[in-house]
Amino acid sequence: MPDIIKILPIEVSNKIAAGEVVQRPSSVLKELLENSIDANSTRIKVIVKNAGKNLIQVIDNGDGMSKKDMHLSFLKHATSKINKIDDIFSVRSMGFRGEALAAISSISMIEMKSSKVIEDNGYAIKIDGGKIISENESNFDKGTSIKVKNIFFNVPARRNFLKSDFVELRHIMSVFNNIAISHNEIEFSFINNTEEILYLKKESLKKRIISIFGEKIREHLIPLNESTQIADLYGFILKPEYAKKSRSNQYIFVNNRSIKSQFINHSISSSFDGILKDGFYPGYFLFVNIDPGMIDVNVHPNKTEIKFEDDQNLYSIINSAVKHCLGIYQVTPVLDFEKDSSMDISYTQTKSDPNIPNIEVDSEFNPFKFFNDEIFEKHTSQLPINNIDSTFVDENKKFTKTFQIFNKYIVTKSTSSLIIINQSLAHQRILYESFLKSIFDSSSESQKLVFPIEIKLTKNQLNLFKKIESEFSSLGFNYKMSDSGLNITSVPIELENNSIEQIIDDILDHENDFDKTKNFSYSDFFAKNLSKSSSIKTGKKLDLNEQEFLVNQLFSCKEPLLSPDNQQIFITLNKNDIENKF
């Protein structure tokens, strides 16, 4: 009987391994940027075309490579970072596995140029699908330039799984931002289809965050700096009022490596208990410096997961540090969001002793002095008998068709059943259908604002806004666009009493939802997110007219059963359902 087990050819095994290392174009960029950082670069330039599907180029001024090093770098498990297994537990470099370039070269076309010294000639090499097709000397300054073209050109099934250019570019920008934040000592530039999206000079961590996320984040940054025997923590926590409905402002770095950690996320989130509103997530840029021997970064090829030797103590340290940080800067729960500023206590007043008020008592005061028997009888005759509510005594009083419970549900009835409606989901459905109709008919009416609203947007938010700009205008928004954001002069009538800035901010922070949900178009995406952001929220008390209006509008919708995200809007209880409860 012939043998059936065979050793796979190297090109086949590389393509299989590439699935773990290279999941999408952003994976390629991450590996190339980490190589540039490990090469001691002080200036890195990124060029992307068609969301990285056609080209990802990284140019740095790092140490460069010799001809031999260039050849070896494309071999699997070839690395300059470690020599023995113990080195893994003390590694501080970004890369160390020696898999990235071998995996990338097996599923793309690569052109690399590199030089170790400015005076010497550099060397150039071209590789297609893992095979060298040409190599020669090249005039190139110190550093390395690597072009990765036509990703997955020889694995069409994988290429078909790539998302739209917009979604892939979002992932690329996310990787770039992570690297740029954690290495603020390096100058970065990012060019997409000949347009420079970002230029980041060497700067402090705070300025780097502001350069990426916009000036509006400046006043919400609270510095954090704690040193312990287990780890050193530093970075910034965002004030509770800057919390988002998405996790887009959550960044964790361990030894300058961007990671994902559920237990660190939970530790920070629990520090905000009682401060944030339901459905909002805190923002932070947390850096953890820890002995490499106390962590294991060799959990997965993408190196975004880390195991900690003493995770319980680290959890407590992070939790306490964040609470301490919030406490120092007097970040406390604010129940009255529209409080009168005149009620604030000045700093000088907090340092002075309060004056004890003088109390004067009129010993001659008699509250019954002017209260004769006739007046007493008149007032007591109006009191409800036996403390029974007069509304139940009045036989002619009509019962209302609706009532609200828990400031969340509206209860009404049909001829044969009781109906319990989720007010927030119902309002979302009403607004969603209204917004879609306005977008397609361009029939929405506008309300001109007395004072225009200026909204500052990040580069990422502006990029998404350009995708939904036509829908934005169709709804009745009038605005002027600038490099830093929007100046809104008119809004749709449905939104005139809402916080426009908060609504737009929420929508533009949900850019990844277009990838995760089955939206039919950008119009559908915009209408869904706009309806969720501007709908009545749980906890809002509605009067009878508002309740009845909401119920009537809901059952006038084309699809009253489900919310825009396919959640059940109401339940019905018929006679049998109720009797079964007894």
Q: Please state which CATH number belongs to domain 211-328.
A: 3.30.230.10
Asked whether residue 9 carries a pLDDT value surpassing 80, the answer given is: no
Per-residue pLDDT for 96 more than 80?
no
Among 353-367, 453-467, 516-530, top mean pLDDT goes to: 453-467
Q: Is the pLDDT of residue 339 over 50?
A: no
Residue 232: which pLDDT band, with cuts at 50, 70 and 90?
very high
Predicted confidence at residue 436, as pLDDT, reads: 83
Which CATH code of 1.10.10.10, 3.30.1370.100, 1.10.1240.10, 1.10.3720.10 fits the domain covering 420-570?
A: 3.30.1370.100
Give the count of beta carbons closer than 10 Å to the beta carbon of residue 482.
12
pLDDT tens digits, one per residue of 179-196: 999 999 999 999 999 888
Biggest CA pair distance of the chain: 119
Any idea what DSSP says for residue 386?
G
Higher pLDDT, 515 or 198: 198
pLDDT the model gives residue 30: 92
Residue of 525, 528, 532, 531 whose CA lies nearest to 464? 525
Return d(Cα 446, Cα 1) in angstroms, integer.
81
Give the pLDDT score at 61: 92
Q: Is the pLDDT of residue 116 over 60?
A: yes
Quick one: CA dihedral 336, 340, 343, 346, positive or negative?
positive
Asked if 234 contacts 224 with a C-beta cutoff of 8 angstroms, the reply is: yes
Residue type, 364: E
Residue 530, exposed/middle/buried by CB under 10 A (0-12, 13-18, 19+)?
buried
309-332 residues labelled b (16+ CB within 10 A) or e (exposed): eebeebbebbbebbbebbeeeebe
Least confident of 10-24, 173-187, 383-397, 482-496: 383-397
The larger pLDDT score, comparing residue 498 to residue 310, is at 310
List the 143-149 sheet strands across, edge first: 131-138, 122-128, 109-115, 143-149, 55-60, 43-49, 187-192, 195-200
Cα torsion angle, 270, 276, 280, 282, sign: negative
| Cβ-Cβ contacts under 8 Å for 564 (sequence gap 6 or more) | 428, 429, 432, 527, 528, 531, 532
Nearest-CA neighbor of 425 among 246, 570, 277, 571? 570
Angstrom distances, CA of residue 189 to CA of 47, 114, 199, 540, 550: 8, 19, 4, 46, 51
Rounded to the nearest integer, the mean pLDDT of the chain is: 79
Task: Parse the chain into domains and list their residue ranges.
Answer: 10-202, 211-328, 420-570
Q: 């009620």: which residue's tokens? A: 343
- CB neighbour burial string for 442-464, b if at least 16 within 10 angstroms, e if fewer: eebebeeeeeeeebbbbbbbbbb
Instruction: Render pLDDT for 372-404 as a digit per residue (tens, 0 to 9).
Output: 555 445 544 444 444 434 333 344 433 457 888
Is residue 337 pLDDT above 70, yes or no?
no
Q: 10-202: which CATH architecture?
A: 2-Layer Sandwich (3.30)
Give residue 381's pLDDT: 47
Q: Any idea what the Cα angle at residue 29 is, between residues 24 and 35, rounded to 5°?
A: 135
> Among 166-180, 295-309, 485-499, which range has the highest average pLDDT?
166-180
pLDDT category of residue 88 using cuts at 50, 70 and 90 = low
The more confidently predicted of residues 305 and 379 is 305
Segment among 72-86, 249-263, 475-489 with least mean pLDDT: 72-86
Q: What is residue 33's three-state secondary structure? A: helix
Q: Give the β-pairing of 284-290 and 250-254.
A: parallel
What's the pLDDT band for 162 if we cut at 50, 70, 90? confident
Query: Which residue(s) pair with 267 in the sheet?
Result: none
From first CA to last CA, the distance across the chain in angstroms is 73
Beta partners for 225? Answer: 234
Q: What is the pLDDT of residue 89?
A: 54
Do 462 and 479 touch, CB atoms closer than 8 A?
Answer: no
Strands of 21-87, DSSP E = 43-49, 55-60
Burial of 553 (0-12, 13-18, 19+ CB in 10 A): middle
Which amino acid belongs to residue 421? I
Q: How many CA atoms lie within 13 A of 575 on its CB side?
A: 2
**Among the ranges 329-333, 391-395, 542-546, which has the highest mean pLDDT value?**
542-546
More confident residue, 38 or 515: 38
Q: What is the pLDDT of residue 54?
A: 93
- What's the pLDDT score for residue 383? 42
Dump pLDDT digits (tens) for 427-485.
999 988 888 887 777 666 777 777 788 888 877 777 778 777 877 777 778 888 877 77
Average pLDDT over residues 10-32: 74
**Rounded alpha-carbon distances, angstroms, from residue 377 to 382, 385, 442:** 9, 14, 65
| Sole residue written with tokens 């190139």 | 140
Tell me the C-alpha distance between 294 and 273, whole Å: 29
122 vs 397: CA distance, rounded Å = 93
Query: CB–CB of 228/261 below 8 Å?
Result: no
Greatest mean pLDDT among 89-103, 127-141, 348-362, 508-522 lies in 127-141
- Taking 90 as the threshold, does the pLDDT of residue 214 lie above it? no
27: how many CB neighbours lie within 10 A of its CB? 23
- Say which residue, 442 or 424, is predicted with more confidence: 424
359 vs 489, residue with greater confidence = 489
pLDDT of residue 327: 83
Q: Is 427 helix (H, G, I), strand (E, B) or coil?
A: helix
More confident of the two residues 266 and 526: 266
Task: Give the CA-trace dihedral at 199, 201, 207, 209, to 10 degrees.
Answer: 50
| pLDDT(170) > 80 | yes
Q: How far apart are CA 197 and CA 201, in angstroms?
A: 14
pLDDT on residue 120: 67
The pLDDT of 365-377, averaged and rounded, is 53
Mean pLDDT of 84-96: 56
pLDDT, residue 346, reads: 46
Averaged over 2-28, what is the pLDDT?
A: 70
Q: What is the mean pLDDT of residues 340-354?
A: 50
Using CA atoms, how far apart are residues 516 and 332, in angstroms rounded to an integer?
35
> What is the b/e burial string over 400-414, where b = at least 16 CB atoms within 10 angstroms of the residue's CB?
eebebeeebbbbbee
Lowest mean per-residue pLDDT among 78-82, 284-288, 434-438, 562-566: 78-82
